[in-house]
């Protein structure tokens, strides 16, 4: 398997956006071409780890990529701009550029350009959801990201930050917007308010016991998606704290997550369900 990290070019200046202090990067986990799979096109998954737009969680990057690799996917982990380096819309632009990069390199990496999904967790879930929900928003059109090459074919969102309202994770929005924090941009980034029928199929999961990002974030988005006719699957697990990632042994912090068999035996099944959802005929 090819594993490498590449710098992700984003022309911030051309769009009148201040460049971040540190460039975004994309780590590729590309499966090899050999034997009778030499001519098979693989689906791709772009992963946006969480971290409240203050850091990028390692637990929600490579461990997630390995699960999708095992299922036959080429995986890519985005190290996007966070608060200490820049502010909105840098991370959103980087996510769109990552999608374009995957499609532009599809032939050399045996990726199916028509099956490029995005997966995100917590604040990374907000970023992932933004690519599919804001794809046709006037703000995004002005930036030049409303072409089909930038749209994800589907979204997988784990315990995502969605709403800037009553159930919002305030720190995530402060970190995202920085000096641009204002009611107008808060409203635009309260994603349940921006859903339309152009949003791609979406898989959502959350735990009802999440005290950091309330489950209502997922419920509000699910309600908006279904009202707009977007194909949606939702899993709400009764137990489990925030930040479970794959909910498997390799990412569960000793003494925090690993003492509840339900998490390992039940919540961890979200990966299987998400892969099945992606593979469904559409």
**Percent of the chain's residues with pLDDT above 70:** 96
227, 221 contact by CB (below 8 A): no
Mean pLDDT estimate for the chain: 94
For 141, phi and psi rounded to 5 degrees?
Answer: -60, -40
Residue 9 sits at the vertex; the CA angle it makes with 185 and 139, to the nearest 5 degrees, is 25
State the CATH number of the domain containing residue 96: 3.40.50.1820
Q: How far apart are CA 78 and CA 7, in angstroms?
A: 10
Q: What pLDDT sits at residue 253? A: 66
Enclosing domain of residue 18: 2-279
Residue 49 sits at the vertex; the CA angle it makes with 48 and 54, to the nearest 5 degrees, is 110
Q: What pLDDT sits at residue 185? A: 97
Lowest mean pLDDT among 28-37, 41-50, 62-71, 130-139: 28-37
pLDDT at 230 over 60: yes
Overall number of domains in the chain: 1
């Amino acid at each position: 398997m090819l594993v490498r990290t590449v710098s992700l070019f984003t022309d911030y200046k051309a769009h009148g956006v201040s460049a971040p202090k540190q460039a975004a990067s994309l780590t590729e986990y590309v499966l090899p071409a050999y034997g009778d799979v030499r001519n098979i096109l693989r689906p791709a998954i772009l992963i946006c780890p969480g971290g409240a737009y203050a850091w990028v969680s390692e637990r929600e990057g490579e461990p997630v990529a390995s699960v999708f690799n095992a299922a036959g996917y080429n995986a890519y982990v985005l190290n996007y701009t966070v608060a200490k380096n820049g502010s909105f819309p840098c991370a959103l632009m980087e996510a769109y550029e990552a999608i374009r990069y995957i499609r532009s390199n599809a032939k050399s990496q045996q990726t199916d350009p028509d099956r490029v999904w995005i997966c995100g967790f917590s604040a990374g879930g907000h970023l992932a959801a933004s690519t599919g929900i804001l794809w046709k928003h006037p703000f995004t059109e002005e930036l030049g990201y409303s072409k089909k090459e930038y749209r994800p074919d589907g979204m997988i969102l784990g315990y995502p930050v969605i709403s800037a309202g009553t159930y919002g994770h305030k720190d995530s929005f402060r970190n995202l917007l920085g000096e641009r924090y204002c009611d107008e941009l808060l409203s635009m980034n309260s994603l349940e308010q921006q859903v339309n029928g152009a949003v791609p199929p979406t898989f959502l999961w959350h735990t009802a016991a999440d005290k950091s990002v309330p489950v209502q974030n997922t419920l509000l988005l699910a309600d908006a998606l279904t009202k707009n006719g977007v194909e949606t699957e939702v899993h709400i697990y009764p137990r489990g704290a925030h930040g479970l990632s794959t909910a498997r042994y390799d990412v569960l912090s000793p003494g925090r997550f690993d003492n509840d068999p339900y998490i390992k035996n039940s919540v961890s099944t979200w990966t299987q369900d998400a892969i099945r959802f992606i593979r469904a005929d559409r």
